[in-house]
Structure 1
Amino acid sequence: MERLPAHSLILAIDDDDMVRLMLQDILQREAFEVICAATGRQGLELVSEKRPNLVLLDVMLPDTNGFDCLQTIRNMPGNAMLPVVMLTGMDDLDSVNKAFQLGATDFIAKPINWPTLPHRLRYLLRAVATLEELAKSEAELRKAQKIAQLGSWDWCVATDNMQWSEEVFNILGVSRHTFEHKRHDLFKSVHPSEVGKLQQAIELCLRSKHNFRLELPITHGNGANHVVHIQGEAILEGQRVTHIHGTVQDITERRHIEERVRFLSYYDPLTGLPNRTLYKEILAQAMAYCNRHGTVLSTLFISIDRFKRINETLGPKIGDQVLKMFADRVVAELRDCDYISTNADYELAGMTVSRLGGNEFTVLLNHIQDTRDSVKVAKRIFHAMQQAFTVDHTELFVGINIGIAVYPGDGQDEDSFIKNGEFAMNHASEHGHNNYQFFSKSLNVAAFHKLAMENSLRRAIERNELQLYYQAKINLRRQKVIGCEALIRWQHPELGLIAPSQFIPIAEDSGLIAQISDWVLEKASRQTLAWQQNGLCQGLVMAVNVSANQFRQYGFGNHVRELLSNIGLEASYLKLELTETILLDHIEETLVTLRDLQALGVKISIDDFGTGYSSLSYLKKLPISELKVDHCFIRDLPHNEDDMAITAAILALADALGLEVVAEGVENERQAKFLLDSGCEVVQGFLFNRPMPADEFAAFVRKFDSQLVLSSDV
């Protein structure tokens, strides 16, 4: 297949009119395009303007000689490979030699052999086209090698002649002036400690004809340390290795990327500690060592108490700084700890402390002699955390909880061991701040029970297993039911009726509490409207407990407005009970939501008043209508003087602020009489009724409102 332009353009520069006419006639009949020039100056102009594919150039021209014209053509940009054929006399050998020295492609002796001329020119054009393609391929190869930082080398065994591609010089940082074309040139940049490895690989390739691949450290010509990949392949003639051909590639950047990927895969980028993946690998090795040698290990599972509040209050940036400082403090405390030793089979000294994720860390103690050693380490960590963390000129104190798991005993493999350690840690957090707990099998049973309860609770709503019970609020002076509180119960198909104290904490931990709270609010509101439409419980105000998650949902006020509108219940018949903790946390956002509810007409009650950290300054600002005195202050009335004083103080405070008061937990007539005499008219408790289903409650209200329940001296 001919590699020729579609229409090859031939430029003939000759002062002989007949030669020019013959060239035009013969070559045009062979599908060439031909242009002619009678002088050197005219010819040079056509070379620059027309860019011919081949030039026929006479040695003798009227205004210059062909040699000067040839030099000028070669010096023009892009004409290095332009075929230039000199036309000279048959016996003019000096002209032929000089033409080749100056860069002529070929020569044709005059008189010209006209029949063979087209074939000869086609051959020249085809050869030049092939050379151009080869040059282009080599240029692309050099470019590709430069991009890939890949160079090639070839070593002749017999002559010890070494040849490098241009990129090898760049990769090794070697100057061509110092290149001796010998095998030892390949060793000069390799780190001295690794030269022997490369020499052995080449010798083995010569003897056994095995190809080789090596990754070696080198010192670049600029003094920087790099890593290269060198490979060699034996070239055979018969059974004898005549050459070794190979490549050199700079893989320094790839190594850095691989190291970064490994770091991100096995280490926590914030603290630099091993992450969960690496911890599991270390733990698996440590367990195997324990199995072989009969030793014991322990792990402390540490969580920072209420860390979420730091993130929510001060932002994740501050939270990250606390985590980093916490990790550094733990590592520093344990660095010289006598109870942490290392195994000679693998390094654990730098891997003892790990971050499993979030605010959870572990400390692996291998080769412990006694489980009491774990407690000693735990106490050291507790002590280290007593000092404040100073972040952005703010002092923060953090509490921690520690779960302790011991192997063998607390898990058959790393997954069960970690699971049990985290059970112990969560159990510790349930018992207060700065507490540690060892894992026990009872914790596992409790955890599985809790998980089973959570799974059942997720399906309880859709299966209509949740029910609302109602407890009356009684006005003692009027002897009338003026309201009630909606209380949730769970009618489990297997476990029977489950009290809120058993499943509400699970709902809060699992995130189901908001969904359940919304269900309670809607169900109670619909029940209130249904009683009104049936002529029952007229004027009764329904009280519904609101969870923190529900209250802090964006647009909670609008949600209540839409709910009441869809149901058709007037807002004045709904009272929302919130704890002091909910009201005083994020006070600015709380005020916005409370004012939305107040504008709607919904009443707000503070539940369990007096048990939290009340602030009178905030109490003045909050748009509330009622205080509920907690049952813990009512239980020992009227015999406990402290409870009497506290209850009287709450009643006086409510009176001063113009707030209604409800006393909950009233169980006997003496309590009711004391409260009424002290100015508290509304009570709630077992003295009058226990929480009951809707139908029973309606019947109770009808009966209570039609007769006196208390004796006449109350």
Structure 2
Amino acid sequence: MKEITIMLASLMTFLKNSRSKFGCPCNEGADIPRSQNLHSLIYFHSNDCIVIADERGVILSVNPAFERLSGYDSSELVNVLPNKIDTYIKDGEFYKALKNAIALKQSWEGEITYTDKEGKELYYKLLTIQRIIEEDGSSKYIAVLSDMSKMEEANQKIWYETNFDALTDLPNRHMFLHHLEQQLSKIERNNFRRTALMYIDLDDFKEINDMYGHQIGDTLLKKVTTRIISCIRNTDLCFRIGGDEFTVILPDIENLYMVETIAQNILKELSSPFELENSKNVFISASIGIAIAPDDAADSETILKYADQAMYQSKKSGKNTSNFFAQSMQDALIKRFQLIKDMHIACAEEQFVLYYQPIFEIKTGQIHKAEALIRWKHPDGYLINPADFISIAEETGMILEIGEWIVHEAIKTVSQWRRMYNERFQISVNISPVQFHQKNGSMPEWIKVLTSDAFAKDSVVVEITESVMLEDSAIVWERLKLLEDAKIEISLDDFGTGYSSLSYLKNHPYQYLKIDQSFVKQLEINLSDQILCKMIIDIAHQLNMLVIAEGVETQYHRDILQEMKCDYLQGYAISKPLPADEFVKRFFNSEE
């Protein structure tokens, strides 16, 4: 505005200095002399449009900028009223209001839309119309207009980029939150019917990008958008709020069955093959979470959080399904967050302890092996079972720290027991798949410890599950080879519960195979389990592996497994897991 004021002052000086050329009225269209003074330069070279008119509003002169932008030549404009060339100013009410404002304040300021010679609508800002009173009492008017078309285009582009997703043309997260707030306020203010919020996440979309590339992935997202929109009502709104995440706001829902029907239609559409470039058929699925306002929550942050939780429940349920939010989900999440917080404290305050469960050798009737099992000794005095926290430790990555502690503690214990009680004693330690697949640019600490020369290598057995082998990568092979070269024995744990591929047994260096307790517990009443256990034992022996049966709880279990030529027994029939001091008292300092 300061620049316009300076310009007007210069133009007023210019107009007064050029009074001889602007006699009243001007009906000859005399040109303004291009004098070399500053005021003349401003008039002729300004990028803003300048119009000078007499007291009747008849145009006396326009500068070159106005000619360029309007499409008119100055000869077509001089001696013409503005409303003859501008449809906007033909609006009588506007023109009247404009004249009244100038008569009252000697100036006018505002915005107008201007139409050029070809009829194209241009955006201008009529910054100022200034009235100048001559010495003889007559008036002249100077109008300075700034072309806003490019600015308007830039503003439109910024608005679009702020509120819409460039790939799918769907409104984005910013627009989603705005519309969600609006919809929830309508419910509260006008007692509208309920609104449903769907949170849709594509399952394993990263694999599509990794396999086919991001260009194919982008094409797929566009097609996904089309299919989702085809399943919802005209009143529903779809948004893309993340890479492979979409939301749908469904206002004014009659019943939950209608919402579930829409969700199932979306799942069905998305599970059909997508034909992409080069006739590639790509298959995907989605997980959907649904929350209802105001039943579940009435504010946007909470309702979105609940829909997200319901979506993750769908992921846990096997994907390609939908779930409505339930309060139990929130309760479970609160419990999980508290557990994670407590685990960090437990690591810092050394609240974890190792218990040891003996492994009985049938052939000798002796115990010279044990499995190290972690327990969490809570400050309140109770023990937390690993089944309640190990999976969360794996998901959060805390298992790396906990696992290293287990290895160090087990090595310390077995070294002491060998020195004091039994020089042949072995302790088995469980290595999580997360530890085994750890990728941080260097060798994991647990590998360094186990392959060092700080202890007897035959004193520790590494237990791994079949899930370690599912990622048959160079890292897995490298770490197995390191353990084999260091003479560390390896036990395949929980055999029979996973994929149980015989290729695992053939191709990898296991010394022990552990039969999962789910087969052992039913030996008394289930003939199939008896057959399977006998078959596993025979196969293992043929491959020069020893067999350990877990979950041995009765004398019958001991007897029948001994008949099947099983090598080792582990379970409550032998002993429950014990703290280190109790284990020593029972198995090293007694006559048993």
Question: TM tier, shorter chain?
Answer: 0.7 to 0.9
Shift of 1:193: 6.6
Distance 1:469 1:140 in 2: 92
Residue in 2 that maps onto 1:283:
180
Q: Evaluate the alpha carbon distance shift between residue 440 and residue 565 of structure 1 in structure 2; reply closer, same or farther with a 3 A threshold.
A: closer
Native 8 Å contact 1:472 1:483 kept in 2: yes
Shift of 1:165: 4.0
Distance 1:608 1:648 in 2: 16
Distance 1:441 1:302 in 2: 20
2:493 counterpart of 1:597: no
Native 8 Å contact 1:276 1:355 kept in 2: yes
Q: Evaluate the alpha carbon distance shift between residue 202 and residue 193 of structure 1 in structure 2; reply closer, same or farther with a 3 A threshold.
A: closer
Residue in 2 that maps onto 1:272:
169
Aligned partner letter, 1:418: L
Residue in 2 that maps onto 1:524:
410
Deviations 1:257-288 (A, max 9, x none): 43343333323344332233222211221122
2:460 counterpart of 1:562: no
Question: Aligned match of 1:234 in 126, 130, 134?
Answer: 130
How many residues of Structure 1 are paired with residues of Structure 2 in the alignment?
A: 550
2:290 counterpart of 1:404: yes
| Residues 562-711 of structure 1 aligned to structure 2 (within 5 Å) | 562-564=448-450, 568-617=454-503, 619-703=505-589, 707=592
Distance 1:656 1:675 in 2: 17
Q: TM-score, normalised by structure 1?
A: 0.68
Distance 1:184 1:574 in 2: 101
Q: TM-score, normalised by structure 2?
A: 0.81
Aligned partner letter, 1:491: K
Shift of 1:246: 1.0
Greater alpha carbon shift after TM alignment, 430-439 vs 683-692: 430-439
**Unpaired segments ≥5 residues, structure 2:** 1-34
Residue in 1 that maps onto 2:263:
378
2:384 counterpart of 1:498: yes
Native 8 Å contact 2:193 2:252 kept in 1: yes
RMSD between aligned alpha carbons?
Answer: 3.5
Distance 1:529 1:183 in 2: 106
Distance 2:89 2:373 in 1: 78
Deviations 1:183-235 (A, max 9, x none): 667985x7x578749857754553443532326375697x9876444422424
Deviations 1:12-36 (A, max 9, x none): xxxxxxxxxxxxxxxxxxxxxxxxx
| Residues 444-463 of structure 1 aligned to structure 2 (within 5 Å) | 444-463=330-349
Question: Aligned match of 1:244 in 136, 142, 147?
Answer: 142
SS where residue 569 of structure 1 aligns?
coil
Question: Aligned match of 2:426 in 541, 553, 565?
Answer: 541
Distance 1:194 1:650 in 2: 94
Native 8 Å contact 2:58 2:82 kept in 1: no
2:361 counterpart of 1:471: no
Native 8 Å contact 1:289 1:295 kept in 2: no
Residue in 1 that maps onto 2:196:
298
**Greater relative CO (CA pairs within 8 A, separation 6+):** 2
Q: Evaluate the alpha carbon distance shift between residue 187 and residue 161 of structure 1 in structure 2; reply closer, same or farther with a 3 A threshold.
A: closer
Deviations 1:615-662 (A, max 9, x none): 334543334333222111111114312112222222233233333322
Residue in 2 that maps onto 1:14:
none
Distance 1:597 1:220 in 2: 85
Distance 1:323 1:536 in 2: 65
Residue in 1 that maps onto 2:12:
none
Q: Evaluate the alpha carbon distance shift between residue 615 and residue 364 of structure 1 in structure 2; reply closer, same or farther with a 3 A threshold.
A: same
Deviations 1:309-362 (A, max 9, x none): 55566666555554443333211222xxxxx353xxxxxx5xx12233244322
Residue in 2 that maps onto 1:174:
71
2:177 counterpart of 1:259: no
Q: Evaluate the alpha carbon distance shift between residue 434 and residue 265 of structure 1 in structure 2; reply closer, same or farther with a 3 A threshold.
A: same
Native 8 Å contact 2:197 2:249 kept in 1: yes
Native 8 Å contact 1:153 1:162 kept in 2: no
Distance 1:437 1:592 in 2: 42
Shift of 1:378: 1.6
**Unpaired segments ≥5 residues, structure 1:** 1-130, 335-339, 343-348, 708-714
Deviations 1:377-416 (A, max 9, x none): 1221222233133456654433433222112221131111
Distance 1:280 1:590 in 2: 45
Residue in 1 that maps onto 2:23:
none
Larger Rg: 1
- % identity of equivalent residues: 26
Q: Evaluate the alpha carbon distance shift between residue 132 and residue 434 of structure 1 in structure 2; reply closer, same or farther with a 3 A threshold.
A: same
Residue in 2 that maps onto 1:333:
231
Greater alpha carbon shift after TM alignment, 644-653 vs 172-181: 172-181
Deviations 1:450-490 (A, max 9, x none): 22222222222002122222222222212233433222222
Residue in 2 that maps onto 1:60:
none
Q: Evaluate the alpha carbon distance shift between residue 285 and residue 680 of structure 1 in structure 2; reply closer, same or farther with a 3 A threshold.
A: same
